[in-house]
């Protein structure tokens, strides 16, 4: 069991979306929150909200996690200030949501830098102290699109497959080198946070848009119970099994289920993030 109460918990992208909700929940359970996000205003608002709700103010740090040097520099500041991180939640993420030829190169690079590479820098920064202390948990927020490609998500899905590969390889490495450490990877279908505004599910009973509070609660619960993998909703767990089928059948099922038209009406946050 990974204890939340009394633990130092760092969440990237902790100022909004499921990062904010996980922070609120973990603060309610007695965790000491360290929130990293790139926007000082939303960070301040969330820190104030958590303080009002729990009586304990998280430590907020402004950081663009796609900047490797900034991550390492802030990580050493954090380690000086609080000594160690017990639970690291690599959560910050962005999406372009366009056809490959319509995604500017810089956006593809940014997507990989935030969704995939940042977790390397964060984990490398905090893992040594976890190993030394014999205690720690690394959480990777991946996606259902870590398991299946989707039209208009080529950069996003590829970055999330990278996140999945990162988690699995790290898990195997830690079994050999530091078996007392835990990892959790999270693969949710679309969540109603605004990041994927406009997306549709053809069969909402089978593949509902997930409710952010419920997702955050499931993740916190999984961390407490040291679950290695969380996939939401349950039907998404069948995707790896479908891969034994011929590609033409796999593609036909995915298309029938609406996977490849789900992004047709995507608007996202409309902020060109």
Ligand X SMILES: NC(=O)c1ccc[n+]([C@@H]2O[C@H](COP(=O)([O-])OP(=O)(O)OC[C@H]3O[C@@H](n4cnc5c(N)ncnc54)[C@H](OP(=O)(O)O)[C@@H]3O)[C@@H](O)[C@H]2O)c1
Binding site for ligand X (CB under 6 A): 12-13, 15-19, 37-39, 42, 63-66, 91-94, 114, 141, 143, 188, 190-191, 193-196, 273
Report in angstroms how near the CB of residue 94 gets to ligand X at its nearest: 5
Give the sign of the dihedral formed by CA 49, CA 54, CA 23, CA 217.
negative
Report in angstroms how near the CB of residue 214 gets to ligand X at its nearest: 13
156 noted as active-site residue: yes
> Catalytic one among 72, 99, 156, 256?
156
Looking at the Cβ atoms of 39 and 177, the one nearer to ligand X is 39
SS3 helix, strand, coil % of the chain, rounded to 5?
50, 15, 35
Place of tokens 């969380």: 230
CA–CA distances in Å: residue 108 to residues 97, 103, 113, 144, 263 = 11, 7, 9, 19, 17
The strand pairing partners of 191, in sequence order, are: 210
Looking at the Cβ atoms of 201 and 273, the one nearer to ligand X is 273
Report in angstroms how near the CB of residue 175 gets to ligand X at its nearest: 25
Angle of CA points 171, 177, 182, to nearest 5°: 40
Alpha-carbon distance of 13 to 10, in angstroms, equals 10
Looking at the Cβ atoms of 14 and 135, the one nearer to ligand X is 14
Report in angstroms how near the CB of residue 188 gets to ligand X at its nearest: 4
Looking at the Cβ atoms of 96 and 193, the one nearer to ligand X is 193
Q: Is 203 exposed, middle or buried (0-12, 13-18, 19+ CB in 10 A)?
A: exposed
Q: Which residues are catalytic?
A: 156
């Amino acid at each position: 069991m990974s204890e939340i109460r009394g633990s130092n918990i760092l969440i990237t992208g902790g100022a909004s979306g499921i990062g904010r909700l996980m922070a609120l929940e973990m603060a309610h359970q007695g965790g000491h929150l360290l929130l990293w996000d790139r926007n000082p205003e939303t960070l301040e608002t969330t820190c104030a909200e958590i303080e009002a709700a729990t009586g304990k103010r998280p430590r907020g740090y402004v950081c663009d996690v796609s900047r490797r040097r900034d991550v390492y520099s802030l990580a050493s500041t954090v380690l000086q200030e609080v000594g160690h991180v017990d639970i690291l939640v690599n959560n910050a993420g962005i999406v372009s949501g366009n056809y490959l030829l319509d995604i500017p190169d810089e956006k593809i690079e940014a997507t990989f830098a935030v969704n995939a590479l940042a977790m390397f820098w964060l984990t490398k920064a905090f893992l040594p102290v976890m190993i030394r202390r014999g205690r720690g948990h690394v959480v990777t927020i991946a996606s259902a699109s870590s398991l299946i490609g989707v039209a208009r998500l080529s950069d996003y899905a590829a970055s999330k497959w990278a996140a999945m590969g990162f988690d699995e390889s790290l898990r195997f490495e830690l079994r050999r080198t530091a078996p007392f450490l835990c990892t959790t990877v999270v693969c949710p279908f679309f969540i109603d946070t605004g990041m994927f505004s406009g997306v549709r599910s053809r069969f909402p009973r089978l593949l509902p848009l997930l409710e952010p509070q419920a997702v955050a609660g499931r993740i916190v619960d999984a961390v407490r119970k040291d679950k290695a993998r969380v996939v939401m909703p349950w039907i998404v767990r069948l995707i790896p099994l479908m891969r034994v089928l011929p590609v033409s059948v796999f593609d036909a099922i995915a298309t029938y289920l609406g996977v490849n038209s789900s992004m047709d009406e995507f608007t996202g946050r409309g902020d060109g993030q």
